[in-house]
A = this chain, B = another copy of it.
Amino acid sequence: MKVSILGAGAMGSALTIPLADNGNEILLWGTEYDVDILKKIEKGEEHPRIGVKLPEVQILYPKELKKALDADIIVLAVSTEGVMNVFNRIKNEVSDSILITIAKGLIEEEDHVYTIPEAIWKENVKMRHKLVAITGPSIAKEVARRAPTRVVFSSKNLKTAKKAMKAFKTKYYGIEITDDIIGAELTSALKNVYSIAISWIRGYEERFEMDLSNAKGVLATMAINEIAIFVEDAGGRKETAYGLSGFGDLIATFRGGRNGMLGELLGKGYTIDEALKELEMRGVGVIEGYVNGRRAYALLKQLEMRGKASEDDFPLLKAIYSVLYEGKKVEDVLMNLLIEGG
């Protein structure tokens, strides 16, 4: 098949490996931020973020977006912040293609919070049966080295998901199919938020010089179960959160990446402003869990207003929100969460 990848970041680029192994024709388009990477790839150098050389792909520079659209499959491989921007540029020209989304975040438009699929369908309802989301354990550096994993392709239309699967599945890249695309996407976005809290414990361990693995187990349990309830309240299925999209991804990325760094500083006693400043100084970019923390809480309030959820079911999410956005410190909330569950 002909597959276009829009965005030359780590994950989009990593996906060229299984796609090429399956003999697909691959076009890799980059945004203005990707130009240096595109040049390196054209020269046959390693991709700077994943440390491997890419297979044979056709490089497309920012102005050549149109050339990427005549494809069987189009992968939206930019970050959450850029997804709707790119989609809106192409939305009327892609109804014949399968569209794949890989970002793990929530979209905010005009004071309303959506999952990425919902935001996309709002712009072009024809994509309803043409959209596939990829979730589950898929650290880009590992996929790029053909390290084995199994991910989830979710779509309202299982035929679409199966067709996409044919392009991607290899001996090292396994794929499960589900129709719970909302559940899968919500799970992925929420995991990043809850990762911050789980990492509070690492900060506490350093601060108080003691092992707190039991506490880590308690918070991780609260996290996965709140995600499951959230998903169910939003119309998805709990099993999605308990599966590869939630639990699997959580285990694979347990240290939490940038979300983990933020959580650790907060656990050490930093205020949110001090922590964000520290990370900025270290050159750490956008922290998805921080941005999505506010959106997740707003989405919870939306569900509450429709009678579909109760914030009483989300003590950990409320605690995270209070630390990220209401000036609370981890020590104000942690012991009550651990001992009383609230």
Which residues of B have CB within 8 Å of A139? Answer: 211, 213-214
**Contact A212–B242 (Cβ < 8 Å):** no
Max chain B C-beta neighbours (<10 A), residue from A143, A218, A243 = A218
Residue of B nearest to A145 (CB): B210
User: Is the CB of A305 closer than 8 A to any CB of chain B?
Assistant: no
Max chain B C-beta neighbours (<10 A), residue from A143, A244, A334 = A244
Interface of A (DSSP majority class): helix
Residues facing B in A293-342 (CB within 8 A) are: 334-335, 338-341
Residues facing B in A124-153 (CB within 8 A) are: 136-139, 141-143, 145, 147-150
Instruction: Mark each residue of chain A from 138 to 174: 1 if its CB lies under 8 Å from any CB of chain B, else 0.
Output: 1101110101111000000000000000000001111
Which residues of B have CB within 8 Å of A228? Answer: 242
Q: How far is the CB of A142 from chain B (nearest CB, A)?
A: 5
**Contact A247–B218 (Cβ < 8 Å):** no
Instruction: Mark each residue of chain A from 226 to 259: 1 if its CB lies under 8 Å from any CB of chain B, else 0.
Output: 0010000000000000111001111111100000
**Contact B214–A142 (Cβ < 8 Å):** yes
CA distance A139 to B254 in the complex (A): 19
Which residues of B have CB within 8 Å of A148? Answer: 212, 214-215, 218, 334-335, 338-339
Which residues of B have CB within 8 Å of A243? Answer: 221, 225
Number of residues on chain A facing chain B (CB within 8 A): 48
Q: How many copies does the complex hold?
A: 2
Residue of B nearest to A246 (CB): B221
**Contact A251–B216 (Cβ < 8 Å):** yes
User: Is the CB of A81 closer than 8 A to any CB of chain B?
Assistant: no
User: Is the CB of A23 closer than 8 A to any CB of chain B?
Assistant: no
User: Is the CB of A224 closer than 8 A to any CB of chain B?
Assistant: yes
**Contact B341–A150 (Cβ < 8 Å):** yes
Residues facing B in A181-227 (CB within 8 A) are: 210-218, 220-221, 224-225
**Contact B216–A172 (Cβ < 8 Å):** no
Which residues of B have CB within 8 Å of A142? Answer: 210-214
User: Is the CB of A176 closer than 8 A to any CB of chain B?
Assistant: yes
Interface residue from B141, B248, B334 paired with A217 (Cβ < 8 Å): B248
**Contact B242–A220 (Cβ < 8 Å):** no
Residue of B nearest to A174 (CB): B339
Given A142-B212, A224-B247, 17 more pairs with CB closer than 8 A: A137-B216, A142-B213, A147-B212, A148-B214, A148-B215, A148-B334, A150-B339, A173-B339, A174-B218, A213-B254, A214-B252, A217-B249, A218-B244, A220-B247, A221-B243, A221-B248, A225-B243
Q: What 7 A-B pairs are tightest by C-beta distance, nearest first?
A: A217-B252, A137-B217, A174-B339, A149-B214, A221-B248, A217-B248, A137-B214
Q: Can you spell out 17 A-B residue pairs with CB atoms less than 8 angstroms apart?
A: A138-B214, A147-B210, A147-B214, A147-B215, A148-B215, A148-B335, A149-B214, A172-B335, A172-B339, A173-B339, A213-B251, A217-B244, A217-B247, A218-B248, A225-B243, A228-B242, A242-B242
